[in-house]
Amino acid sequence: MMISRRVMLTTPLALAAERAASAAPGKMTLAIHQNTSAGAGYRKSLEGWSRAGIKYVEVTAALLDEFLKTDSLAAAHRVLTDLGLTPVSCACGVQGLWEPNPNHAAALENLKKRCEMFAELGLTRIYAPTATTQKVTLDDYKTGVDNMRAVGEIAKQFRMTALAEFVRTSSFISTLTTLLKMTRLAAHPNMGPLLDCYHFWSGLNKLEDLDLIRRGEIGHVHFQDVPDMPRELLDNTTRLIPGDGVSPLTTILRKLADKGYAGPLSVELFLPKFQQGDPSEVAREIRQKSEAVMRQARVM
């Protein structure tokens, strides 16, 4: 096993993350994704959220890399522990992991480096979106399943679980049904599906697709709302705080709870007013509105 001494020292954070991901039956926890406060950077985003009462966070490779230009990984770890924050998942920032492509071997090597880095922060879950626009064939999905197994093997070396996030604009995996079929065929214990509420409700999915989820199958959830506008005009910047849009979020959360999901709901937003806003004020608004939806859904 490729586990360093520093990984072992982060065990308390890892255990806290596991508790967050296995809360009381039907109960979920609110988290915020660092993309939401990207303009504030690694430290300031976390400090602002902590002041707003946020306890669970999702870390991104981009903000961590920027922090590491002038500081150490140990210092990044201390920011989390000093603020009493539990990291529940991380965006690895590696492209080309899922679809067949000539750079897949290099992508796996980059993933290995990311797993080592994030494991030392106490993380047990790492994900990558399925974003690609390349033309694919039916045979490519067989390769995609093999790729998922390879990703799972790397995650296993670091006692992590790798998750694939279907993206509504992907030409390869853009729906929950396709993602579930592929992760099941991969059948790797360290590989699973991530459900993003925005990609789900704004894409080619039906509410009934949630009934296909097996108990305990979903590894992580991104939590956002969809505005009342033509879907053709939607993009990443049109994501809203839960409760501000038209998604049937309470129904979605209840279905996830019935399927045994009791982990974090990570709010990931891209609008400039959020990304460039004061992290504390943004987090307070997110907490107020998101927790209202969660209470209505009876998952907190």
Q: Where are the domains of the chain?
A: 5-296
Let me know how long the chain is: 300
**Phi-psi label, residue 240: left if phi above 0, alpha if psi -120 to 50, beta otherwise:** beta
Q: Is the pLDDT of residue 69 over 50?
A: yes
Above 90 in pLDDT, residue 245? Answer: yes
In this predicted structure, what is the pLDDT of residue 225? Answer: 98
- Give the model confidence (pLDDT) of 96-125 as tens digits: 999 999 999 999 999 999 999 999 999 999
pTM assigned to the model: 0.91
Identify the pLDDT of residue 236.
Answer: 86
Residue 80 has pLDDT above 90, yes or no: yes
At 128 the pLDDT is 98
- Topology adopted by domain 5-296: TIM Barrel (3.20.20)
Q: Does residue 240 surpass a pLDDT of 60?
A: yes
- Say yes or no to pLDDT of 165 above 90: yes
